[in-house]
Chains A and B, each alone.
Chain A
Amino acid sequence: MNKATSSLGRSFAAHAILATYTIIALFPVIVIIVNSFKSRKAIFRSPLSLPDETSFSLVGYETVLAQGDFFLYFQNSLIVTVASLTFVLLFGAMAAFALSEYRFRGNLLMGLYLALGIMIPIRLGTVAILKLMVASGLVNTLTALILVYTAQGLPLAVFILSEFMRQVSADLKDAGRIDGLSEYRIFFRLVLPLVRPAMATVAVFTMIPIWNDLWFPLILAPAEETKTITLGAQVFIGQFVTNWNAVLSALSLAILPVLVLYVIFSRQLIRGITAGAVK
């Protein structure tokens, strides 16, 4: 009985901590969403109260949707995020497989070199990247963003995935070789399914910074037709007047797609974490 109460107490404490953390983490998001449904006056008068009949207003959303390019921004963000994510996962997994599976000269060095990228922020190279993009005529294209984000995401992807791939049974791969599977089949059919949780982890960690990034869109692709959603929302922030309704509505809308992607990946992520725990 003593044990039962103490474990009850412990689980209560654990839940209290988790709940507190959840509230702190979700608070800004909730405030944004709640306020996006309020009139400008109400936002400033009582930013924490829920919208009621008098304060409820969709003016923010109307402004955002009336701004014709908003769907284009959305589309740009999605294209950039999904394309970068695809390349990071594909190339990251392939590089990780090569590093973990094959013995070749410079294997360790190559792994260290790739891991170095985790510690050195890519933004340090912004000027050089901009010069490069100007020289290659890629300024104001989505390609520029996709290339940069792929480079930005690869180090962590290679690092995490090669660690996981080392744990895939060598005998399994050898059995595949004896059965005559090509190295590509072994990679795609035997190894990738087994490291799916790790892929999901990498996907989440790669996706969110890309979606939220303001820096590179601003520098490399500020043109109207290549703006991403985060950059697009900035049109409502002026030096003297900021259209808060529109900013909050734009941000609320921007959360949606990434939330969907996150839910898809987090299924895999949680499965990976619990599978590890049960073993």
Chain B
Amino acid sequence: MKAFVPANPSHSPDVFALGQAQQKDRKVGSLKLENIRKSFGDVEVLKGIDLEVDDGEFVIFVGPSGCGKSTLLRVIAGLEDATSGSVKIDGETVNHLPPSKRGIAMVFQTYALYPHLTVRKNMSLGIKQAGLPADKVAEQVDRASKMLSLDDYLERHPAELSGGQRQRVAIGRAVVRDPELFLFDEPLSNLDAALRVNTRLEIARLHRELGATMIYVTHDQVEAMTLADKIVVLNAGNVEQIGSPMELYNKPANLFVAGFIGSPQMNFFDGSRLEGETAKTIGIRPEHISVDTNEGQWAATVTHAEHLGADTILYIDTDTVGQIAVRLFGQHNYDDGDRIFATPDADNTYRFDAQGQTIG
């Protein structure tokens, strides 16, 4: 397992303290949500969300579809009014402020570029609207365009750009606003796999260079694990757990988080299947099970094998705990129907009570 390296080394606590003085004039915003609730008609979508985000942090919201990630982001942006609760940016309650006055910028999944304006005008519209003098506007656009290598496209219209370029322009439009808080709603999900990796790296670089606070919604675990300082796992309008990527991986607070973080998913089975076990549910990650042809704890039959080159994923049917997945590093010659023995790593098993909470 790879050791935890913070996505943004400059923000490890000691360095951060040193930089505090210069940090003052740079616009970096903290965010505090207190008991945010949001209902659409009778349906409560957000059920009391509390969250604190420090200056310069990269926070990612993950959760299943429809759990309220976008809604929460829109409440922070001011595009949606919270039914109750307060949003504080930089210590100031902004509930009553319109989006443009909150010091935020947002990047949308669908790019949402103005179709009738050139790239340059797309990027400058917001700050012009805010009344910045023309020379300052040009300077900001230049800076953002350099940062995202958009110089060649400035006079084009969005229709004349590829999907990846459009998303870069959308990010550029956010950068130009020089916000205290960046909000991203699944910015990469319309891009193909290769482009997604590149743009992900670009966003990580942007975060390093700007040192800005960013909040980012995604479905993609890899994005979440690689970009985040802090991940917020949401489920059905509630926060299930907040923590660094490795905290969530190593110490999931409950069944939901355990099942949500990690791919392939953690194996779960009833505690009653193991002798002397008191927990309701036992969980073990596929990568924490070893197999052997001759000896081991659980006898099993291979039902399916996936050979990925770097990894081999085996789906096995054990006599003791039923169907489980096993992830082996490197290449192995197991095939359907092979009889093998699987042994779980005792230090890396998780135990959950009847309510689904992790037991010590």
> Taking A169-B110, A169-B112, A194-B115 as contacts, is the C-beta distance between A177 and B129 under 8 angstroms?
no
Query: In whole angstroms, what is the CA distance A172 to B114 when docked?
Result: 7
- Which range holds the interface residue count of chain A? 10 to 19
> Residue of A at shortest CB range from B102?
A178
Q: Which of A175, A180, A181, A194 interacts with B108 by CB under 8 Å? A: A175
- Which range holds the interface residue count of chain B? 20 to 34
Asked if A179 and B125 sit within 8 Å, CB to CB, the answer is yes
Asked if B108 and A174 sit within 8 Å, CB to CB, the answer is yes
> Residue of A at shortest CB range from B117?
A189
Residues of B78-100 contacting chain A, CB below 8 A:
79, 98-100
Asked if B98 and A175 sit within 8 Å, CB to CB, the answer is no
Asked if B77 and A178 sit within 8 Å, CB to CB, the answer is yes
* Binary CB contact string for chain A from 169 to 191 against chain B (1 if under 8 A, 0 otherwise): 10110111111110000000010
Query: In whole angstroms, what is the CA distance A24 to B115 when docked?
Result: 42
Asked if B100 and A177 sit within 8 Å, CB to CB, the answer is yes
Residues of B within 8 A of A176 (CB): 114
* Total contacts A-B at CB 8 Å: 55
Asked if B79 and A177 sit within 8 Å, CB to CB, the answer is yes
> Residue of A at shortest CB range from B115?
A194
> Residue of A at shortest CB range from B77?
A178
Q: Would you give the shortest CB distance from A39 to chain B, in whole angstroms?
A: 55
Asked if A180 and B115 sit within 8 Å, CB to CB, the answer is no
Q: Is B282 an interface residue (CB 8 A)?
A: no
> Residue of A at shortest CB range from B116?
A193
Asked if B108 and A179 sit within 8 Å, CB to CB, the answer is no
> Taking A169-B110, A175-B108, A193-B116 as contacts, is the C-beta distance between A180 and B130 under 8 angstroms?
yes
> Residue of A at shortest CB range from B174?
A178
Asked if A180 and B79 sit within 8 Å, CB to CB, the answer is no
Residues of B within 8 A of A172 (CB): 110, 112, 114
Asked if A179 and B109 sit within 8 Å, CB to CB, the answer is no
Asked if A175 and B106 sit within 8 Å, CB to CB, the answer is yes
Q: Is B105 an interface residue (CB 8 A)?
A: yes
Asked if B108 and A177 sit within 8 Å, CB to CB, the answer is no
Q: Which of A171, A181, A193, A194 interacts with B112 by CB under 8 Å? A: A171
Residues of B within 8 A of A169 (CB): 110, 112
Asked if B115 and A175 sit within 8 Å, CB to CB, the answer is no
Residues of B within 8 A of A177 (CB): 79, 98-100
Query: In whole angstroms, what is the CA distance A171 to B98 when docked?
Result: 16
Query: In whole angstroms, what is the CA distance A171 to B112 when docked?
Result: 6
* Binary CB contact string for chain B from 103 to 139 against chain A (1 if under 8 A, 0 otherwise): 0111011111111100000000110011000000000
Q: Which residues of B contact A (CB under 8 A)?
A: 74, 77, 79, 98-101, 104-106, 108-116, 125-126, 129-130, 173, 177
| Beyond known contacts A169-B110, A179-B173, A193-B116: 20 more, CB 8 A cutoff | A171-B108, A171-B112, A172-B110, A174-B79, A174-B108, A175-B106, A175-B108, A177-B79, A177-B100, A178-B77, A178-B79, A178-B126, A179-B177, A180-B98, A180-B100, A180-B101, A180-B129, A181-B129, A190-B114, A193-B115
A-B contact pairs, 8 of them (CB 8 A): A169-B112, A172-B114, A174-B79, A174-B106, A175-B106, A175-B173, A178-B126, A180-B101
Q: Which 6 A-B pairs have the closest CB atoms?
A: A180-B100, A179-B126, A171-B112, A175-B112, A171-B108, A180-B129
